[in-house]
Amino acid sequence: MLITVGVVSAVAWGLAMNYGSPVVINLAKIKEVIHFGGKPVFEKPKLPAQAPDQIASVPEVSYTPEPQRPTAQEHLPATEVTATQQSRQTVFNDRNYTPKGAANVTTFERPVEQPKIEGGVKVAIIKEAPRLRDNCPFKEGSIEQRECRKKADYMERNSNYTGNRSQ
């Protein structure tokens, strides 16, 4: 029973959302209709009656229209006028889809090649001294190799350590 009520309410809600029109409630008409004991609950506001001599006279104002200035569209070239007069698309679906190009397109210039120096650059290669840790005979990445390298580094540090001894 509860499932049926849920399904029916979901279907009714879906139909109301798809095919229903907005509801407009006129409160003035509702106030006119509500009566209690034969008398209206909400009375119409009464405007104070004004005597004809109390009515303020409205001074007459002369109106002279200003000469029309040319609009912005009259100043634009013909190609720009048509672009501004086009209506905006307000309905979007598969039938009226028109893809736009990318908005943030930049063009890249080819890099300029640097002139080659005829003599070239001379590089001096200094060979590093061999380290103990590079001589571990175990498989690369194994725990044994890691332990071997740790011990080799420890021995190398201690052999170079002078501490507080004077030489």
Residues 149 and 143: their CA atoms lie apart, in Å, by 10
- CA-CA distance, 30 to 41, in Å (whole number)? 11
Highest mean pLDDT of the ranges 49-63, 68-82, 116-130, 151-165: 151-165
For 78-110, the pLDDT digits (tens) are 555 455 556 787 888 888 888 787 888 888 888
Residue appearing with tokens 């008398």: 39
| List of residues 6+ apart from 81 with CB closer than 8 A | 73
- Bridge partners (DSSP) of residue 148 are none
Q: Is 163 left (phi over 0), alpha (psi -120 to 50) or beta?
A: left
This prediction's pTM: 0.24
Q: Which comes out higher in pLDDT, residue 128 or 86?
A: 128
Side-chain-facing half-sphere of 44: CA atoms under 13 Å: 7
Instruction: Provide the pairing of β-strand 39-40 with 35-36.
Output: antiparallel
Amino acid in position 167: Q
